[in-house]
Amino acid sequence: MIRQDYDLSACNTLRLPARAQLWGEFSDVSELLTLLSAAAASHWPVRVLGGGSNVLLAGDIPGLVICPRMAGVQVLRQTAEFSWVAAEAGLSWHDWVVQSTAYGHGLENLALIPGTVGAAPVQNIGAYGAEAADFIDSVTGVQLSSRQLRTLSAAECRFAYRDSVFKRELARDFVITRVVFRLPRQFAPQLSYGPLATWSATAVVTPQSLIEEISRIRRSKLPDPQQIPNAGSFFKNPVVSAAQAAGLQREHPQLPCYPQAGGDVKLAAGWLIEQAGWKGRWSGHAGMHRDQALVLVTDGTAVYTDVERLQQQVQADVLSRFGVQLEPEPQLF
């Protein structure tokens, strides 16, 4: 069923006010194709909204906004080393991480990231030494321009740091319906992140205990969107040349730097923002969180222009002080 004039304020974790001209949900590919056929017949533009945890709603949305509700899980095949498991796009990401341990391992470090399975490949979500791309085998969906079902291999998804083909050539032209994960069956936890290494020195590390510890760490660092509107980490950690990083470290010895494959260096955006004076500071109805400078929060009454203004102010101050351009993680919807 297609609904008209649908309120989207509860459909995005920043709670920015917006309304969809039309709204439709789908529980399988057949329902999705029916919605797309109706949109094509009436010349409605189509956009996809999952959990709304990584988007910026700039105002009312013309055309049809569709939302996946399918949440099934299917084991496709197994070997002694790996399980190939398909998870449908509407499944809560955290719920999938918890379920995934019944089939294999590797996703534990990505626990409690808000959003859905279908959104994970778009952003190539990552945390605490792991990325979704490390475990994605393929992504299936419908290309809007052709209304054809397509399956893209991991290589075709062109995953990079918080990036994929779904944010580039296929932006607004692909509706993800399921993601196939290749999960190692042997548990080999990724514990390189400092607090995890400290915890693991005295803890009994199991898939369940690791999920619980990751969840505890995230709750200690990031506000609950149900209580304080936010979109998680708002800016990407910038990647700069080794020469630029070395120059910055000479001026700022405490700057956290993380060497990358290929010679570049990733900087800690939260540290840059805090040093630029924005931790706990507000601009109108939006501010940077008092405990985590990387998280942009609102008071629940903000509109997109409040967020945009704060984003630009933070970017300008970091650029002025450090010569580094910050790039936001959330996408303009």
15, 162, 178, 218: which is the annotated catalytic residue? 162
Indicate if 329 belongs to the active site: yes
User: Is 162 part of the annotated catalytic residue set?
Assistant: yes
In the predicted structure, residue 221 carries a pLDDT above the cut 90? no
The confidence score (pLDDT) of residue 39 equals 96
Q: What is the mean pLDDT of residues 260-276?
A: 95
Residue 212 is among the residues annotated as catalytic for this protein: no
Of the CA atoms within 13 Å of residue 260, those in its CB half-sphere come to 15
> What are the Cα distances from residue 144, in Å, to 37, 77, 109, 153, 169?
10, 29, 33, 19, 12
DSSP string spanning 51-68? S-SSEE--S-EEEEEEEE
Distance CA 108, CA 98 (A): 8
143 confidence band (pLDDT: 50, 70, 90): very high
The CA distance from 186 to 184, in Å, is 6
13 secondary structure, DSSP code: T
Residue type, position 184, single letter: P
Handedness of CA 107, 111, 117, 121 (dihedral sign): negative
**Residue 261's pLDDT band (boundaries 50, 70, 90)?**
confident
Report the alpha-carbon distance of residue 8 to residue 20 in Å, rounded: 7
Residue-range domains of the chain with CATH: 3-68 (3.30.43.10), 73-184 (3.30.465.10), 230-332 (3.90.78.10)
User: 319: Cβ–Cβ under 8 A, 6 or more apart, which residues?
Assistant: 325, 326
Taking only the tens place, the pLDDT of each residue in 47-100 is 999 999 999 999 999 999 999 999 999 999 999 999 999 999 999 999 999 999
Give tens-digit pLDDT for 32-57: 999 999 999 999 999 999 999 999 99
Kindly indicate the confidence band of residue 196, based on its pLDDT and cuts at 50, 70 and 90.
Answer: very high
* Band of pLDDT at residue 1, cut at 50, 70 and 90: confident
Query: Which DSSP state fits 300?
Result: S
